[in-house]
Amino acid sequence: MAKSDVESILIQYNFTSVMADGDTNSITGTAVWKVGSTTVATETNLSQGDKSFNIRPYLTVGTNLVTLSFTDSEGSISTRRWTVTLINFNITSSFNDATTYDTDIAFRYTPNGNISKVVHFVLDGEEIDTVTTNTTAKQLTYTIAKQSHGAHLLDVYMTATINDVPVESNHIYKDIIFVDEANTTPIVATAVRSISAKQYDTTAI
């Protein structure tokens, strides 16, 4: 499953140019990349063969028209165009897990992505529910029933299918503290999922 935080979108192409005498080795090329009407990159002195270019840094959310104009050292020109749609697909939450709860809670979250998506709610490693929504950039609420005395780790994320490819969003982790006044057992909670540190270093949790 692809992740939503894509750092590279590679456009692959093959450059082949042959002189009248059949020679190919001496011919090089120049690639000019445009997004819309703006030139975003120029590659010079390219040898022949399979090539790839990362267009991701030059795209904006929405539909992008990408144009490649390739000119070989003999002056021959070839142009190719692609339409690339970039979707802002992530989930955020302002829910405060630094306090304690003794009733059902309203978990507030905001899904982003102008597509149909499934929001997954996983509590203590078990998926308790899913919500399918087309809503984007608008806060929604999901009710989580009161749990037993202690810390309960909530994992919330989204999945969707884009161009027949399944994708998965970022994950939100909240270690929710439910308390029972009749229970005096100490509770330790942290939503930190992993820590990287060198020996003898100290790390704040």
**151 pLDDT exceeds 90?**
yes
The whole-number average pLDDT for the span 71-86 is: 88
**One domain, residues 7 and 82:** yes
**One domain, residues 63 and 100:** no
Reported as a pLDDT band with limits 50, 70 and 90, residue 3 is: very low
**One domain, residues 134 and 95:** yes
pTM: 0.71
**One domain, residues 151 and 125:** yes
Range of the domain at 56: 2-86
In a domain, 195, yes or no: no
Q: How many domains is the chain partitioned into structurally? A: 2
Q: Which token pair is 115?
A: 């597509």
**One domain, residues 107 and 167:** yes
**One domain, residues 74 and 111:** no
The whole-number average pLDDT for the span 4-12 is: 74
In a domain, 139, yes or no: yes
**One domain, residues 63 and 126:** no
**One domain, residues 42 and 58:** yes
pLDDT tens-digit series, residues 119-129 = 999 999 999 99
Q: What Cα–Cα distance (Å) separates residue 97 from each residue in 35, 57, 120, 121, 181?
A: 43, 35, 18, 16, 18
The whole-number average pLDDT for the span 133-149 is: 96
pLDDT tens-digit series, residues 38-65 = 999 999 988 888 999 999 999 998 899 9
CA dihedral 37, 43, 44, 45 (to 10 degrees): -140
Residue with tokens 């950039």: 137
Lowest mean pLDDT among 64-68, 164-168, 174-178: 164-168
Average pLDDT score, the chain: 89
The whole-number average pLDDT for the span 97-101 is: 91
Pick from 185, 172, 90: which is nearest to 123 by CA?
172
**One domain, residues 82 and 29:** yes
Task: State how far the Cα of 163 lies from the Cα of 183, in Å rounded to an integer.
Answer: 51
In a domain, 196, yes or no: no
**One domain, residues 70 and 102:** no
CATH number at residue 67: 2.60.40
**One domain, residues 81 and 94:** no
In a domain, 205, yes or no: no
Reported as a pLDDT band with limits 50, 70 and 90, residue 1 is: very low
Of 59, 86, 113, at which residue does a domain stop?
86
Q: What pLDDT is stored for residue 200 in this prediction? A: 84
Q: What pLDDT is stored for residue 2 in this prediction? A: 41
**One domain, residues 49 and 100:** no
